[in-house]
Amino acid sequence: MSRAAVRRPTDATVPWLVGGLGALSFAFFLGWSLWFASVLDATAVVLGFTTVGIPALGLVWGGYRLERSTIGVDRYRRLAQWCFGCGVGFLAVNGLIMIFFPWHSTSGNVSWAQFSLNVGAVAGLTVGYVEARAIQREVEATAATVRAERLAEEREVLTYLNDLLRHEVLNSAQIIGGHASLLLEDADDRSRTHLETIDRESDALTDVIDDVRAMLNASRKPVVTGTIDLGDLLESELTALDDRAEELEIDADIPDDVFVEGNEGVRWVFANVLENAVEHNDSEPPRVAATVATRPETVAVEIADDGPGIPPETRETLFERKSENHGLGLYLVRILVHRYGGAVELTETGPDGSVFTVTLPRAHDPDDTDREAARTPGTDEDVSETATA
């Protein structure tokens, strides 16, 4: 067993030792008051309580506060050295003075000695506590700096990987797919099969790259959010979905002027959820419904389909990363929505279809904010109007 492991239980008792010293000293003061009651007047008792009793209670309170403070146990030993060292040191100094210049009574000398011990211990505890707090703040500041530097390095790596995927891998995949599509126009039956495979796999690779890039963007900290017009975004994504699908019925209940907090990732979230509603829907024709419900602090968007529903064995892991394929879809949706301070869940599923609910923090209309700022007293317009009046 290491020395540090042996010391740890002992160090943890320091608050109790400090508080115990204070309690014992206060009990000694009460005993002193009773023992010398016959020779003490009211003034002496009050003076003794002020100079001895209150510092003793200060030690009790100090031990109580120390145990509940954020100071680490590894700082306790140093703090105890300050407390008990100053107490004993101050008592020794005053003891020498008492030898050469004693008080005229035994009760006074006893009170003087106890005063020296208590005040020295309280002063040492205070100095030790301040020192421990200063050291801890310095350690925390250093750790925060190291974390910030590490996060900055990680962001640089993520940015590099994102650029690499976009400029190198994604462009190459699109070039391969484009050439395959051109060759398909004049290919014979044997070559067509291979070219269709190349074209299909290049499209799949492009989708995976897009997912990975979105994942890299989602992993960046801090997440910078702004105000997103959710109504325009949903209408745009529903229109794009309708253009891609051969046959599709869309029902939308989207009120005007609905704004949420987020960034460009919000569009990816709803594009993915809507695509998921159509991709696994074998109805003829498939139907998708989007409903927006506003609340004081949040906005809830329900995406419903009339597909076969989610199998029971996959519901619990629906938003987790899949190991059997490369799809990040709903897993990445959950990551992004959580980073915006929202939530996504499967609220209903069965043979008649499924309903996904995406909840995001509600934002104020930026135009309303500008108008409110213009009406706020103290603006230039208000000043000029007041001057005119």
Encode pLDDT of 173-198 as tens digits: 888 888 888 888 777 777 888 888 88
The answer to whether 351 and 294 have CB atoms below 8 angstroms apart is no
For residue 223, what pLDDT is reported? 59
Q: CB under 8 Å, gap of 24 or more: what pairs does 61-64 form?
A: 61/22, 62/18, 62/19, 62/22, 62/122, 62/125, 62/126, 62/129, 63/15, 63/16, 63/17, 63/18, 63/19, 63/20, 63/21, 63/22, 64/15, 64/19
- Model confidence band, residue 374 (pLDDT cutoffs 50, 70, 90): very low
For residue 387, what pLDDT is reported? 35
Q: What is the pLDDT of residues 293-341, one digit of tens each?
A: 999 899 999 999 998 888 888 888 888 866 454 456 788 888 889 888 8
The answer to whether 358 and 301 have CB atoms below 8 angstroms apart is yes
Cα dihedral sign, 39-45-51-56: positive
For residue 165, what pLDDT is reported? 76
Instruction: Compare 247 and 115 and report the one with higher pLDDT.
Output: 115
For residue 328, what pLDDT is reported? 62
Q: Measuring CA to CA, which residue among 225, 288, 277 is closest to residue 254?
A: 288
Parse the chain into domains and list their residue ranges: 3-147, 156-218, 226-369
The answer to whether 115 and 55 have CB atoms below 8 angstroms apart is yes
Q: CB under 8 Å, gap of 24 or more: what pairs does 318-327 form?
A: 318/346, 319/344, 326/208, 326/211, 327/208, 327/211
Q: How far apart are the first and last CA of the chain?
A: 84
Q: What is the average per-residue pLDDT within 110-114? A: 88
Q: Chain-wide mean pLDDT for the chain?
A: 82
The answer to whether 96 and 116 have CB atoms below 8 angstroms apart is no
Rg, C-alpha atoms of the chain: 37
What is the distance between the alpha carbons of residues 360 and 210, in angstroms, rounded to a whole number? 23
Whether the pLDDT of residue 382 is over 90: the answer is no
For residue 88, what pLDDT is reported? 92
Angle (deg, nearest 10), helices 76-100 and 106-164? 160
For residue 301, what pLDDT is reported? 95
Q: What is the pLDDT of residues 49-103, one digit of tens each?
A: 888 889 999 999 988 888 888 888 888 888 899 999 999 999 999 999 988 888 8
For residue 36, what pLDDT is reported? 86
Helices vs. strands in the chain: H and E counts, helices first: 14, 7
Tokens of 73: 């146990």
For the chain, the helix, strand and coil percentages under 3-state DSSP, each to the nearest 5: 65, 10, 20
The answer to whether 182 and 199 have CB atoms below 8 angstroms apart is no
DSSP, res 384: H
- Model confidence band, residue 367 (pLDDT cutoffs 50, 70, 90): low
Q: What is the pLDDT of residues 32-42, one digit of tens each?
A: 888 888 878 88
Q: Measuring CA to CA, which residue among 231, 248, 249, 217 is closest to residue 340?
A: 217
3-state secondary structure of 188: coil
For residue 380, what pLDDT is reported? 44
For residue 356, what pLDDT is reported? 95
Percent over 70 (pLDDT), the chain: 86
Q: What is the pLDDT of residues 202-211, one digit of tens each?
A: 887 887 777 7
Lowest mean pLDDT among 25-29, 52-56, 62-66, 245-249: 245-249
Q: Measuring CA to CA, which residue among 156, 164, 89, 161 is closest to residue 120?
A: 89
What is the distance between the alpha carbons of residues 36 and 31, in angstroms, rounded to a whole number? 8
The answer to whether 265 and 336 have CB atoms below 8 angstroms apart is yes
pTM of the model: 0.51
For residue 164, what pLDDT is reported? 76
Tokens of 326: 């490369």
Q: Which residues contact 49 (CB under 8 A, 6 or more apart)?
A: 29
Q: Which superfamily, per CATH, for 226-369?
A: Histidine kinase-like ATPase, C-terminal domain (3.30.565.10)
Q: What angle do CA 20, 23, 24 make, to 5 degrees?
A: 85
Percent over 90 (pLDDT), the chain: 26
- Model confidence band, residue 219 (pLDDT cutoffs 50, 70, 90): low
Whether the pLDDT of residue 347 is over 70: the answer is yes
Tokens of 310: 């989610």
The answer to whether 91 and 25 have CB atoms below 8 angstroms apart is no
- Model confidence band, residue 280 (pLDDT cutoffs 50, 70, 90): confident
For residue 385, what pLDDT is reported? 40
What is the distance between the alpha carbons of residues 325 and 68, in angstroms, rounded to a whole number? 50
Q: What is the pLDDT of residues 130-149, one digit of tens each?
A: 999 999 889 889 988 888 88
For residue 215, what pLDDT is reported? 66
Whether the pLDDT of residue 9 is over 60: the answer is no
Q: Label residue 59 exposed, middle or buried (CB < 10 Å: 0-12, 13-18, 19+).
A: buried
What is the distance between the alpha carbons of residues 118 and 115, in angstroms, rounded to a whole number? 5
Please, which residues bridge with residue 141 across strands?
none
